[in-house]
Amino acid sequence: MKGDAAPMGEGAAPEVLALARVVARLRSEVADLEGGAATTAVVERATGAVMAQERLSADAACEMLLGRARERGRTLLEECWITLGQLRLRPPPTTAGLPWGSTGGRTRPWTSGWIGSSTGSGC
């Protein structure tokens, strides 16, 4: 078993050190990219919320968020978190007026019986 490992030559230590530096740099880059992806997700979510609330385009919603951030002395990310935190959640819409709402939920549009098939039995 002793002879399984290849003997390290004089140049092996600098090569290992160089590889360790590369790995450290790549890990740092991955952490930066993960942080950037998380930030982008928050900004996109807030932009979508502003689009829905204000009926704006994506560009106009982003400009609105940027303007609010500037006016209030915040970063864009801070303004996005605040915007998302202020959302008022609505209850889901009722199904009473829909074709499957009046049957107590027994028949749903994704079952074969909804289209009028005689073989569909509902859920």
pLDDT of residue 13: 87
CA distances from 99 to 82, 103, 114 (A): 39, 8, 9
Report residue 111's pLDDT band, with 50, 70 and 90 as the boundaries.
very low
Q: Which of 84, 15, 73, 86 is nearest to 45 (CA)?
A: 84
The angle at the Cα of 51, spanning 49 to 53, to the nearest 5 degrees, equals 65
pLDDT at 119 exceeding the cut of 70 = no
pLDDT, one tens digit per residue, over 80-107 is 999 999 987 767 666 666 665 554 555 4
CA distances from 36 to 7, 32, 33, 94 (A): 43, 6, 5, 38
**CA-to-CA distance for 110 and 117, rounded, in angstroms?**
12
pLDDT, one tens digit per residue, over 31-65 is 988 888 888 999 999 999 999 999 999 999 999 99
pLDDT, one tens digit per residue, over 15-28 is 899 999 999 999 99
pLDDT of residue 42: 93
pLDDT of residue 38: 86
pTM: 0.53
Report residue 72's pLDDT band, with 50, 70 and 90 as the boundaries.
very high
pLDDT of residue 110: 46
